[in-house]
Structure 1
Amino acid sequence: MSNKVSVLVAGSWGTALASVLAANNLDVSLWSRNLEQVNEINELHTNSRYLPGITLASNIIATSSMKDAVENSSAVVIVAPSSAMREVSRELKKYWKNDMICIHATKGFETETLHRMSSVISEELGCDEGDIVVLSGPSHAEEVIRHCPTTVVVASLNKEKAEAAQELFMNSYFRVYTNRDMVGVELSGALKNIIALGAGMSDGLGFGDNAKAALLTRGLAEISRIGVELGANPLTFSGLAGIGDLVVTATSQHSRNWRAGSLIGKGTKLNDVLESMGMVVEGIRTTQAAHKLSIKHGVQMPITDQIYHVLFKERDTRTAVETLMGRDPKTEMENMRLDTWEQWHT
């Protein structure tokens, strides 16, 4: 197997994962369309826009050529924004070899089709979706790049490829578990960004810990409901990709989604928030996709619904909270279909 691994693209998370691979003595080819960024990485060993103050390993070589990035690689790690995933995968197809391992670490949906990222990639590469590996879990790029202890999960229906991905990434500070529930892992990673937006809004409104704890708990119930409806294992939502990623994204100022929500809670308009962030906030697009999915599948997602109306229908955040608190009385486990995954996967 080649010692070369490709990472597409050179954002904060892509660069952090490239750093993990480089620490494992792999030759890492980091692809970016931005020639100025490529030159900075190769000449200064920094990526100052996304990870300021960090020096990158010398075995991370950046390139603006997809061909040069992918050629002779044993694995390709795709970390493109969800909005660019189809375009990047289509370009990758030109140089793709069937013996390569495809790993993606993008947490979102294609809003037009409501497809998960593994579905988008498999359609463009012409490969079996079950052979793709999903990397997810509680992992801020800012901490991974500093070698803070981090634990993630890689999920695939192909056991051998999941274990190969585990071997590529695992080291003394980056622990990797395997999981066969691709659907649950992908859905968890995408949908928790909506709840993180809500947690940021709650903090921006000054509502305190009680409100945020309730939001995270009931948010996880929403994620589980739609996830099980779409074929996920309910146990996944209590694991690293589920509650683990939800907690880290909804409680930390490292989180773009939390920061965006906090600004909205303080009264900043969405367009102004996105302009000030300067980076992709996946939870915005995911809220649109999840709202459509909840309607399509008849699954109640009241928190998602209110956040959707705040983001896209100019609903006041306090009005959204009042609407949630004023809903009809419910039982806590209402509409939880815990038997669905077992029925579909036995």
Structure 2
Amino acid sequence: MKINNMVDAKRKIGIVGSGSWATAMVKMLGDNVLDKEILWWIRKEEDLTYVKTYNHNPSYLSAVELRVAPENLYLDARSVIQKSDIVILNTPSAYLKDALRDVSAEDFQGKIVVTAIKGIIPDENLIVGEYLTKIYAIPLTQIVVIGGPCHAEEVSAEKLSYLTIAGKDATNAEKVAEVLRNRYINTIISKDVYGVEYGAVLKNIYALAGGICHGLGFGDNFLAVLVSNAIREMSKCVMAIDPEADRDINASAYLGDLLVTAYSQFSRNRTFGHMIGKGYTVQSAQLEMNMVAEGYYASACIQNIIQRYALDMPICNMVYQILYNRQPANEAVKQLAQKLT
């Protein structure tokens, strides 16, 4: 399938999602100097009305001014996808199927389809790129993955940040990088689509583990050991899934994203884990947070990967036992501590 030529034409970039990361991405696009048009799907009608009136998202990153023409705000994701050259999917993984419920495979034809979603589709047990290929028949060459390390809150404050843009087709990856790049966003091009996407899934689980340990009272010394074991565990997993890829596990998309998610005050997965470590139930922690912790859903989904490839991943297993089998957190961490090196 030939991708629309965007060299001379005005680029039309569609965002599907209206949470904090999607809002930060709208800001990135608005601050990019290229001639382009931004189209944005917003889930709640009251939020769309507010953005149309005040140029701010009232629910997420509410202080950030957003540069989107009022006529380009939609409650209909299909219209955004049909009218865009580049489609950026940026909802929590658990909500993507609902967001795309009226969208057909034909609507994605000729588009570069970007996933900025750092999770696995529940029930399907597929990363977003695999889901798009299976359900919408989108060729892998048309799919681009956005990796970190990058927190929405720091993007909104215009702090210098780096994004990894991964695509099997380097030309399409560069087109996506070009529209996101601005004075505070640098981009790194990669061909490791599976590694970047699975790495983003796994780092949320490891950040959740770090939060659990912190909530239990473990200090920075232990967390450093946990994270160093986590990056080796991640390497083992992505190598099993895609052993032929050219990747450096110590690069920003893998180790960098793991570090910022495990340590940052802005990490929702670390916060969620901290609450679990403090004794919250999963349900009470979810109710108290205003944002989705992708690591919760990923923890269950990644078990299928562990079983499929017969992998030894004790940190992922510990998180799963705590969240889904209700093993006491202090007991699970003590067992894990005997396995760390």
After TM superposition, the structure 1 stretch with the greater mean CA deviation from structure 2, 110-119 or 184-193, is 110-119
State the identity %: 28
What's the RMSD between the two structures over aligned residues? Answer: 1.8
Distance change (3 Å), C-alpha of 1:94 and 1:41: farther
Residue equivalent to 2:3: none
Unmatched 5+ stretches in structure 2: 1-5
1:58 offset after TM fit, Å?
Answer: 4.5
Aligned length: 329
Q: Which has the larger displacement, 280-289 or 2-11? A: 2-11
Which residue number corresponds to residue 28 of structure 2? 20
Cα shift at 1:166: 1.2
2:118 aligned partner: 107
Is 1:178 the counterpart of 2:186 in the alignment? no
Query: Are 1:36 and 2:46 matched, yes or no?
Result: yes
How far the C-alpha of 1:87 sits from its partner, in A, is 3.8
Give, in angstroms, the shift of residue 201 of structure 1.
Answer: 1.1
Task: Please report how far the alpha carbon of residue 89 of structure 1 lies from its aligned counterpart in structure 2 after TM superposition.
Answer: 4.0
1:102-141 paired onto structure 2 within 5 Å? 102-141=113-152
Letter in 2 for 1:163: E
Kindly state the Cα deviation for residue 293 of structure 1 after the two structures are TM-superposed: 1.5
Deviates more, 1:45-54 or 1:31-40: 45-54
Give the counterpart letter for 2:297 in structure 1: R
271-280 or 106-115, which moves further after superposition? 106-115
Does 1:262 pair with 2:274? yes
Match of 1:54 in 2: 64
SS in 2 for 1:235: coil
Could you tell me how far 1:108 is from its partner in structure 2? 1.0
The alpha-carbon deviation at position 209 of structure 1 amounts to 0.7
Alignment partner of 2:247: what SS? helix
Is 1:286 matched with 2:294?
A: no
The Cα offsets for residues 10-40 of structure 1, whole Å up to 9 and x where unpaired, read as 1110111111111124321110231111111
> Partner of 2:330: helix, strand, or coil?
helix
Contact 2:211 2:262 in 1 (8 A): yes
In structure 2, the CA distance between the partners of 1:159 and 1:235, relative to structure 1 (3 Å rule), is closer
Deviations 1:226-245, CA, capped at 9 Å, x for gaps: 11000154734211210111
Report the residue type matching 1:274 in the other structure.
Q
Q: Deviations over 1:30-73 (max 9, x none)?
A: 10231111111111111121113222224474211224423432
TM-score (norm 2): 0.91
Following superposition, the deviation at residue 152 of structure 1 comes to 0.9
Moved more, 293-302 or 88-97: 88-97
Q: C-alpha distance in 1, partners of 2:248/2:58? A: 35
Contact 2:42–2:74 (CA under 8 A) maintained in structure 1: yes
Kindly state the Cα deviation for residue 90 of structure 1 after the two structures are TM-superposed: 4.9
Matches within 5 A, 1:72-83: 72-83=83-94
Which residue of structure 2 aligns with residue 313 of structure 1?
Answer: 325
The answer for unaligned runs of 5 or more in structure 1 is: 333-346
Q: Secondary structure at the match of 2:83?
A: coil
Please report how far the alpha carbon of residue 150 of structure 1 lies from its aligned counterpart in structure 2 after TM superposition.
Answer: 0.5
In 2, are the aligned partners of 1:85 and 1:121 still within 8 Å (CA)?
Answer: no
Equivalent AA in structure 2 for residue 312 of structure 1: Y
Asked whether the 8 Å contact 2:27–2:65 carries over to 1, the reply is no
Q: How far apart, in 2, do the equivalents of 1:214 and 1:234 lie?
A: 26
CA contact (8 A) 2:162 2:186 kept: yes
State the SS of the aligned residue for 1:92: coil
Matches within 5 A, 1:130-279: 130-232=141-243, 233=245, 235-279=247-291
Distance in 1, matches of 2:301 and 2:232, equals 18
Question: Which is further off, 214-223 or 287-296?
Answer: 287-296
With 52-61 and 16-25 compared, the bigger mean Cα shift is at 52-61
In the alignment, which of 309, 312, 336 is matched to residue 324 of structure 1? 336
Letter matched to residue 325 of structure 2: K
Q: Residues of 1 paired with 2:141 and 2:79: CA distance? A: 27
1:325 Cα offset (Å) = 2.1
Sort the Cα spacing of 1:97 and 1:192 in 2 relative to 1 into closer, same or farther, 3 A: closer
Return closer, same or farther for 1:58/1:293 CA change in 2, 3 Å cut-off: closer
Task: Please report how far the alpha carbon of residue 194 of structure 1 lies from its aligned counterpart in structure 2 after TM superposition.
Answer: 0.4
SS in 2 for 1:324: helix
Q: Provide the secondary structure at the position in 2 that maps to 1:17.
A: helix
Structure 1 counterpart SS, 2:305 = helix
Mapped to 2, the partners of 1:17 and 1:175 lie a distance apart of 13
